[in-house]
């Protein structure tokens, strides 16, 4: 009997331990920073946030927009990574974090981007701005125009590096997350720079040649295994800020911390947010392809019209629920009436998780089809008669 009791208790303990191991409970982390947000990059979906739309001084995370405009100009063909940038007296005069460029010093745009992304060089930011737009002021106009284009209603810039203490230089955690999303999704080559921990550059000046080591301001690169960037910032007014990116489980997450009073805690808080996101979220992607589909068309010479899906489907599950059970169905009309215009919606691919709709992708016409006229029918009949 004693043996049976021990065996029973042993089995119960094993079951309890197994349940504890396989069903972890993740609570949202407690973050002291006055403003933060955590989003998934491909969908832009908010996972956690606090005062995310509150306008705050951004310090050097301003440079996220600076980098975005630089890469925009590269894409447009207006500048190249091999461009030689000459440092002006004004660019050299920038205080705060700098890479100590000398007046007249020449560096390639590629090196200047490293100086901005790795060491947060204010002098490098202004040098790039002057090269691209002729002056920092004109470059800042480009930054504000880009912010407006993205619908960032809580953002306005006065300079390109974040040194300004002006009340007119502001953004929000949510807007920073959006511009970070734009930067890493449109220009993933930014990771070639933002993941650098240390790298040497060479100053070639009238004083001679001197090696200078760029050291990343982003401690998260060493503290969090999935970190990929992105930008730090701090001033007396802004306190300590961080826009942190990380890649894991085929997902890119962005955590933005603003106004943290503790320089180290912004990194631990960002890591907590990112770890929570990776533990709770899973990303489902599907091409939404429907194959060679045609729909009967009425009132036209053509008997059928080709249709196609309008893009791919992405779903971020934030509940920890298994997404392997996602199903989809293709909904198309039995026929359509002419005229039909390419790109117009005619159906949809609908996605379900456990019977509940979680999203859809439009099915659109892949060609134009005009409505037939009497003349069209006459010509069609005449050709049939000749045959």
User: Which residues have a catalytic role annotated?
Assistant: 60, 63, 120
In DSSP notation, 156-208 reads B-SSSSS----TT-BB-HHHHHHHHHHHHHH-GGGHHHHT-SEEEEEEEETTE
Q: Write down the H helix ranges in 187-264.
A: 191-194, 220-223
Alpha-carbon distance of 29 to 273, in angstroms, equals 7
Sign of the alpha-carbon dihedral angle for 136, 137, 140, 142: negative
Cβ contact 37:52 at 8 Å? yes
Cβ burial, residue 150 (10 Å; 0-12/13-18/19+): middle
Residue 336, beta-bridge partner list: 297
Strands 282-286 and 227-235: unpaired
Token couple for 29: 């982390």
Alpha-carbon distance of 199 to 99, in angstroms, equals 12
Write phi, then psi, for 349 (nearest 5 degrees): -95, 120
Sign of the alpha-carbon dihedral angle for 335, 337, 338, 340: negative
266: Cα within 13 Å, side-chain hemisphere: 25
Least Cα distance to 121 among 63, 58, 208, 64 occurs for 63
């Amino acid at each position: 009997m004693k043996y049976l009791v021990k065996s029973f208790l042993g089995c119960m303990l094993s079951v309890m331990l197994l349940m504890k191991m396989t069903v972890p409970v993740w609570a949202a982390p407690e973050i002291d920073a006055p403003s933060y947000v955590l989003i998934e990059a491909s969908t832009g979906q908010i996972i956690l946030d606090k005062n995310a739309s509150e306008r705050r001084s951004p310090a050097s995370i301003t440079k996220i927009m600076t980098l975005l405009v630089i890469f925009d100009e590269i894409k447009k063909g207006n500048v190249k990574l091999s461009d030689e940038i000459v440092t002006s007296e004004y660019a050299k005069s920038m205080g705060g974090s700098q890479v100590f460029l000398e007046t007249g010093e020449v560096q390639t745009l590629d090196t200047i981007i490293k100086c901005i992304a790795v060491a947060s060089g204010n002098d490098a930011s202004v040098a790039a701005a002057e090269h691209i737009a002729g002056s920092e002021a004109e470059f800042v106009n480009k930054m504000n125009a880009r912010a407006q284009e993205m619908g960032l209603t809580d953002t306005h810039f006065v300079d390109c590096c974040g040194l300004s203490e002006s009340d007119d230089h502001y953004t929000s955690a949510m807007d920073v997350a959006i511009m970070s999303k734009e930067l890493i999704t449109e220009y993933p080559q930014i990771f070639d720079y933002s993941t650098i921990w240390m790298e040497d550059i060479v100053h070639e000046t009238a004083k001679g040649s001197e090696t200078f080591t760029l050291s990343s301001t982003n401690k998260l690169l060493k503290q969090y295994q999935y970190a990929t960037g992105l930008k730090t910032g701090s001033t007396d007014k802004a306190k300590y800020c961080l826009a942190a990116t990380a890649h894991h489980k085929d997902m890119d997450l962005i955590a933005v911390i603003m106004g943290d009073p503790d320089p180290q805690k912004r990194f631990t808080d960002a890591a907590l947010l990112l770890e929570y996101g990776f533990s709770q979220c899973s990303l489902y992607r599907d091409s939404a392809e429907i194959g060679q589909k045609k729909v009967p068309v009425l009132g036209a010479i053509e008997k059928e019209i080709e249709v196609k899906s309008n893009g791919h489907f992405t779903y971020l599950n934030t509940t920890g629920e298994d997404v392997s059970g996602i199903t989809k169905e293709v909904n198309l009309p039995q026929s359509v009436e002419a005229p039909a215009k390419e790109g117009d919606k005619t159906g949809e691919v609908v996605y379900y998780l456990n019977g509940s709709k979680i999203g859809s992708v439009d099915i659109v016409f892949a060609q134009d089809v005009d409505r037939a006229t009497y003349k069209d029918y006459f010509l069609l009949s005449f050709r049939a008669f000749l045959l």
